[in-house]
Structure 1
C-alpha cells in the first residue's frame, strides 16, 4: 500500500510541476529514479502529457525507460516522436530490447523503427527475428565483448574500453578463434586481478557451458537458476558464438512461463496481454473450451449417480456426503499435481522418479485420509446421531481414505505422464484431475455403501 501511495504522490507532484512548467525540477526528479519506476509513473500520467514528460528525460535514461514501458505507451510515444527523437531513442536501445519492442508493434510502426536503425543493428534484429519464438536465439543479444586468446590483459582492457560502451554486459568476455568459434571466457574480475602482460589464454576458463540457438528458452532460463550465471553464450551447430542471453532476459522468460503454467492450471488458454487490456470476448474464448469439456464430463458423474439410485433411495442421507467427498478428492489431487508440476518445472523431479512419487503419495494419502476420516467420524456423531452414525462413519471414512489415495496418485502421476508424452504437465492440473476424481469418488462411495449394506451393518 505504501508504494501505491508514493506513486500517487509522485504523480500529483509531477502534474503540479508540469502545470507550472518547472521542467528543470521534473528532470532532476526523474534523474534520481530508476527507469522501471519512471515507466510505472508515466503509466499513471494522462496520455496527452506522456510525450511532454518523456522529452524531459536525458537521452540515455529515456531509452532505458522506454524499454520498461507498456507496449501501448511505447506505440503512443513512437507516433508522437519526430524523426530525430525516434532516431535518438532507437540509437540507445540494445538489440534484444529493440527486438522485443518490434515484436509488439504493428507493421507500420515497425517500418518506422527500422528506418531509424543503422545497417548493423538492422541485420542483428533480423537475425534474431528469424529464430523460433521459443528458442534461445529469440531472446539472445548480439552485443557482447569478444576477445582473442593471444591478447594480453592490457590489450583486452583497450578493447573493452573501445567497444564496451555499446555492449549489454562487459563483465563476462568471450574468447573466440579466427572462425568465431567459442574457446573460452574470462571475467573482468580476473582481468583486474591479473598483471597487464598476462596472456588471456593462460587465465581464461576453457570449460564452458553454452546453449545452441534452437534450444528451448525455458531450459536456457532454468540454467541461470542452476548455475547462477549472469550471461550465457549462444552458439550455432558449428560452435560459433552468435550471441549471449543475459539474466534479465532469463527472468522475463521464467515469469512468462510461470504465468502460462498458472493459466493452464486454471483451465485457461494462455494469453499474452495483461488482464485489463485483453478484450472481454478473448477472455471468454480462452475460458469456454475447458469449461465446456468439464461441464460435459460432469454428466458422467450424473449418470453414475443415477445407476446407484437404489442406494440413496434406501438411505437418502448418503446424498448429503457426495459434495464433501468430491471436493476433498479434488483438493487432494490439486495439491499433489501442484507440487509435481512445480517440481518438474524446476527440474527437481524427472519422469524416472515416477515410482518414488507413487510410493510417497500413497503414504501421504494414507496419513491424510486417516486424519480426515477420524475428524469426519466425530462430525457425524455430533450432527447425525439419529441417522445410524456407525454406518455413515464406516461408509464415508472408507470412501474418504480410498478417494484421497486415488486423488493423490492421479495428481502425482498424470503430470509425469504428460511430460513423457511431450505435453505440458500444467494441463494435468486441478480442473482435469478434479473431474476424474469426482467420477472415481462417486463410484467408490456407492460401492462401499452397497458393500457395507450387504453385510447388514
Structure 2
C-alpha cells in the first residue's frame, strides 16, 4: 500500500501499472477498497481491461457499488459486458433499478432477457447464485470431439472440469469429468463415460440447503435444473463458499441480537450500525420488564432477608451462561446437519442428563463456598444451591430446545441464542429463586 501511494504521489504511472500487472487481482481489490474514491478510480482505470474485470469481481458488493458511482454509463456498460455472468448478476443486484435499465439498454435482447430473469429469482435461491457459463456436451460425441468442443468453448466458462450432457431439448442426461474424457479412447462415446446417477438442484432451492449438499458430497459444482429437468445453470464451489460465509455472519449477528447486515463494519455508518442494534435492544429492554415485575412481586421476601439480593447476579449469570452453552452447541449442530427437528426429544434427554451432572457439581461447590467462606446461614446456602441446581437444568434443557422449536416454526434458530435466551432465563431464575426462598424460610 505504501509503495502504491508513493508511486501515485510522484506520478510514476508507468511504474505503477507495471507493478499492478504482476500482482494478484484479489490483492489489488483489497488495495482499492482502502484507497480514497478518487485514487481508487484512477488506479482502476490504469489497469489493463482483462485485469480490471478480474479485480472488480474480487471486490465486495458494497465497494463495487461505491466505485461504480464514479463511472459514466459507457464505462459501466463495458464493465458489465466483460464480467462473468454470475459476477454480472451479483453486481447488478446492488445497483438502483434505473441505473440497471440504463446499463442494459444497449445489451442484446437475448442477454437482457436472461439477466432480467436472473434478477427476478429470490435473493437466497439457487437461481440467484447460478451461472450459465458451463460446458455442455451431447452423448453422441466421441471423447476426441468433446475435447475439441471444450477447447473451442471452454475459455470463458466458469469451470471445465465437470461437463454436462444434455439432449436436444436441454434436458440433463448425465455429467462427465474432464479427467475421464482425456483418459478415454478417442472414439469412446460420451454416453459410455457419463454418470447417470448425479445430484442436481432446482432454481428455487435455498442456499443453506445447497451448502449442505456441497459439504455432504464434496462437490466442485452442481447443476441447476428447472421443473422439467432442463439444465439452466450451475453453481460452483467458490460461490457457495461466499454463501457459507454470509450465512455464518448472519447467524453471528442474530445470536448477538443484531439485525444482519451485508456491509463490512468499517464501511458501515454510525447511523446504519445504530439502526441494526437499536430494535433488538428495545425489544429486550421491554421484555426485561418481566424480570423487574418478578422482583417487585417478591419485594417482601427481599425486605425480610436482604442477603438474598446478594446472590441474584450470580444466579442470573449462571443461568444465562449455561443456556448459551447449550443453545450454541445445538444451533451449530443444526447448521452442520448433525441435529434435525425430529431429534428434539433426544436433545432434551441428553441436555437433561448433562444438566444433572453440571447442576449438582455447581450446587455442591456453591453450598460449601457460601457456608464456609462467606459465613451465611445454612438456610441461605441451601436456597442458593438448590436454585443453582434447578436453574442449570432449566437453562440447558430450554437452551437446547428453543433453537429446534424455532426451526420447526420456520424461524432462524440463531435468534434463540443470547441475549434473547438470557432474557427468558432471567425471569425463570428469579421466580425459582424466590419461590424456593419462601418455601424454605416459611415467608
Cα distance in 2, alignment partners of residues 153 and 120 from structure 1: 31
2:361 maps to 371
Take 1:192 and 1:353, find their aligned partners in 2: how far apart are those partners? 46
Spell out, residue by residue over 1:331-386, the C-alpha distance to the aligned partner (whole angstroms, 9 max, x if none).
1111111111111111110011111111110111112212222332343135421x
SS for the counterpart of 1:191 is helix
Label 1:105 to 1:122 Cα distance change in 2 as closer, same or farther (>3 A): same
Task: Indicate the residue corresponding to 1:381 in structure 2.
Answer: 371
Cα offset, 1:45, TM superposition: 2.0
Distance 1:357 1:277 in 2: 40
Determine the structure 2 residue equivalent to 1:435. Answer: 423
- Structure 2 equivalent of residue 409 of structure 1: 397
Query: How many correspondences in the alignment?
Result: 443
Alignment of 1:222-241 (within 5 A): 222-241=212-231
Q: Can you give the 5+ residue segments of structure 1 that lack an aligned partner in the other structure?
A: 1-10
Change (3 A) 1:116 1:81: farther
Q: 1:79 to 1:420 in 2, by over 3 A?
A: closer
Specify which of 1, 19, 28 is matched with residue 9 of structure 2. Answer: 19
Aligned equivalents of 1:79, 1:433: Cα separation in 2:
43
Which of 391-400 and 50-59 deviates more?
50-59
Correspondence for 2:56 among 48, 52, 66:
66
Assess, with a 3 A threshold, how the Cα gap between structure 1 residues 362 and 276 changes in structure 2: closer, same or farther. same
Give the structure 2 partner of residue 8 of structure 1: none
Kindly report which structure 2 residues correspond to 1:53-452, keeping only aligned pairs within 5 A, or say none.
Answer: 53-71=43-61, 73-81=63-71, 85-115=75-105, 117-385=107-375, 387-388=376-377, 390-452=378-440
The CA RMSD measured in Å over matched residues stands at 2.0
Question: Deviation string for 1:23-63 (max 9, x for gaps)?
Answer: 33323322332222110011222322222211232222210
Deviation at 1:308, TM superposition (A): 2.2
Asked whether the equivalents of residues 78 and 86 of structure 1 are also in contact (C-alpha less than 8 Å), the reply is yes
Mapping for residues 23-34 of structure 1, pairs under 5 Å: 23-34=13-24
TM-score by length of 2: 0.94
| Runs of 5+ unmatched residues, structure 2 | none
Q: Deviations over 1:68-120 (max 9, x none)?
A: 22445434544544666545433321111011111112234323432464444
Per the normalisation by structure 1, the TM-score is: 0.91
